Amino acid sequence: MYHSRVRVTLRPSILDPQGKAVEHAIENLDVGPVSHVRIGKYVEFLVDEQEEDAARRATEAVCRKLLANPVMEDFSYELTRV
Amino acid sequence: MHANRVTFGVVVFPGSNCDHDTYYVCKKILGQDAVFLWHKDEDLRGVDAVILPGGFSYGDYLRCGAIARFSPIMKQVGRFALEGGTVLGICNGFQILLEAGLLPGVLLRNTSLRFVCRRARLRVENAGTRFTSLFTPGESVSFPVAHGDGNYFTDPETLERLNARGQIVFRYANDQGEVTPEANPNGSLENVAGVINEEGNVLGMMPHPERASDPVLGMTDGQRLFRSMIEWCIINVRGERQEVAQCQT
């Protein structure tokens, strides 16, 4: 069994107004120079496979077909054997 | 079934909320036949045209339209579209068509981060489609918009192709019918409000023609979009069927 932890992030070319709004809020915290705020998604799930390769293939299929829209998003993931 | 009437199929997803308005307009305002198609249905029950209505299918979870595209009915809608069937996606329906890959691009969050709900003016950029034949090219029409994610985006090559092939059917315009940045309610690229596929049988648009059809609501430009579809279906779909029927008798 493998634990997949997926991050879906907006591609660099895509404007992120939500990130901008959060950035403006951070400015009000007065904690110093914080910039380039981008908002993404975190998704985790279990893959019931014995081999890491199979778990990797399953995770990538889930990401490509559903979790990330390649027009605007990239994804990365980590696998841990559990 | 009636020779001079067409049957619209209005798909109902969990969270659709313009399905009844659309059904009402097809049936009561336009005098056509209409059926609801449940998202779990696996056949289109012989309809002449499919409409994916507005709403918040699956609560807009993950991305707008991302879950709805995996509904059983969408397999049939995809097949129907590939065979040249007439498919209209309004608002959330447009988002679903993009997620399903039946139209190019994506709809991002409005740049204002606000949900916009108001009357919009649109310029008809292509009046040569089966959805817009009753408009005149460059005409300015009035449809309401109501969305939080209507900011159309695609890569520059795709945008160029869409422009070159007349696939951008509607753009947001001001009261004078000019396409200006101020008239853009959501930040969409080049004020894009509606896009058609290359084959010309699948249209997606953020504005709501069904909310601009009943005279009681003060706007009737939307009627012409549905009437264009009806006219096309009667000539091309019904005409074909009558020929087939005559050959068989």
Percentage of chain B modeled with pLDDT above 70: 95
B88 occurs within a structural domain: yes
C-alpha distances in Å from residue B21, one per residue of B17, B55, B59, B128, B214: 8, 11, 19, 26, 10
pLDDT at B239 over 90: no
**CATH class name, domain A2-81:** alpha beta
Domain count, chain B: 1
Identify the CATH number of the domain in which residue B218 sits: 3.40.50.880
A11, A22, A69: best to mutate for the B interface, most B CBs within 10 A: A69
As a whole number of angstroms, the distance between CA B13 and CA A58 comes to 27
- Residues A64-77: pLDDT tens digits? 999 999 999 999 99
Q: What ipTM is given for this predicted complex?
A: 0.81
**Chain A CB within 8 Å of residue B106 CB:** yes
Q: Are B166 and B145 in contact (CB under 8 A)?
A: no
Nearest chain A residue to B61 by CA distance is A67
Average the pLDDT over B97-123 and give the result: 95
Mean pLDDT rounded to a whole number for chain B = 94
- Residues B21-65: pLDDT tens digits? 999 999 999 999 999 999 999 999 999 999 999 999 999 999 999
Residue B249: the pLDDT is 47
Q: Are strands B86-90 and B49-52 parallel, antiparallel or unpaired?
A: parallel
Q: Where are the domains of chain A?
A: 2-81
pTM of the model: 0.91
Catalytic residue among B26, B91, B99, B233: B91
